[in-house]
Amino acid sequence: MTDRGLIIRHGGVVVFNSRRAAGGVCLGMFRVPGAQTVLSFPHMPRGRTPIVVYSDGSMHSNWLYDEVMGYPRFVFPAVAMSASANYTVGVYLK
Amino acid sequence: MSRGFILRNQHGELVVHRDSLGTQCIGRAAFTQLVQPSSTLGGSRVAGYSSYRFASDRPILWAFDLPVGRRVGVVSTGYANGINTIGVYCGANPDVQGFDQQFAVDVWAFSTLVPDTVGAGRGLRLRNSSGVLSHDFLVPNITLPLAAGDLTTPAQLPAIVRPVAIGSSPFYDVQYESDEVNYFKTDRRQFLLRAPDNSVAYSPGLIYRSGAMHGNPPQGSTLTDPSPYFVVDGQFLP
């Protein structure tokens, strides 16, 4: 079934091709403060690979992933940084 | 479990889900300055970088060009009064102490779907379980990952004209060597490196900062959480 897929053109240019796409849908981009932060996604499926992307060059805590609520949940533990600081994460599911 | 539009690729991985969010490039950051590694005089040295500005209040993932043979990564970000500042490492040609010469590089801002940019044309749009627009395949510069990698697995790129990386906060490893009165700090970082065969991987640890410090060293070494990264096609980016 490798010949099936969705291809979208815009002005003649292919802007989306599901056969070329690597796995990973974005659940959101978030500013995470130093305090513990929990991000839940009740509408997303279980059993997928979680991915967290950073792009800010700073120190981060090691995030955790679980499905104990029956849906994907990402937990960012508290990290030592100034009260006004935050870092940005991109949360994905593959 | 919600029902609705879901697309998977041939590996069974999710590529579109109505309750995920479309992503798009929202602009190119403006170059402000290029800083070379600090002087060899004085003992303590730090790597160079180039810096950029971008006006936006949205949460942003920074993306950057991947010139072949240059080690690239975001090393610092800041935000004040609507302006983001981004410090980016893009280096090659290391000097005798291992500090790279720095080059300017193209940097873009990626965000989730910006409702203001939604056009009036006809095309595929998705709403999520709550009825809110989540994907619009008509907006300019939508992005999708064409490859992904992490610290141990390189991204193998398809034949695309201009690979651009999203993510990859440079993994870093700080070590302390104690002597009788002081300690010596060595901070090494791993950046993304695109090889001529069009693979992208984290580089070996490059010297980023070194110098003699006074007092007692911190316990052990410090490692950051290495970020995975996505590679998108930058061919049509602004």
Q: Is the separation of the CB atoms in A8 and B124 below 8 Å?
A: yes
Task: Determine the residue among B6, B50, B61 to mutate to test chain A binding: the one whose Cβ has the most chain A Cβ atoms within 10 Å.
Answer: B61
Tens of pLDDT, residue by residue over B54-77, are 999 999 999 999 999 999 999 888
Q: What is the ipTM of this complex?
A: 0.90
* B161-178 mean pLDDT: 80
* Sheet strands (E) in B140-181: 142-143, 147-149, 155-156, 163-167, 171-178
Chain A residue closest to B138 (CA)?
A10
Compare B211 and A42 and report the one with higher pLDDT: A42
Beta bridge partners of B63: B108, B166
CB-CB neighbors (< 8 A) of A65 in chain B: none
Chain B CB contacts of A52 below 8 Å: 227-228
Tens-place pLDDT, residues B37-53: 988 766 788 999 999 99
Find, in chain B, the residue whose alpha carbon is nearest to that of A57.
B75
Distance between CA atoms of A43 and A49, rounded to whole angstroms? 15
- Which one, of B33, B156, B29, B4, lies nearest residue A45 by Cα? B4
Are A22 and B146 within 8 A, CB to CB?
Answer: yes
Q: Is residue B105 within 8 Å of B67, Cβ to Cβ? A: yes
Residue B219 pLDDT > 80: no
Nearest CB partner across the interface for B19, out of A43, A61, A94: A43
Burial annotation B36-45 (CB, 10 A radius, 16+ → b, else e): ebeeeeeeeb
How far off is chain A from B17, nearest CA to CA, in Å? 7
Cα(B106)–Cα(B83) distance, integer angstroms = 18
Regarding predicted confidence, which is higher, B102 or B189? B102
How far apart are alpha carbons A65 and A75 in whole angstroms?
6
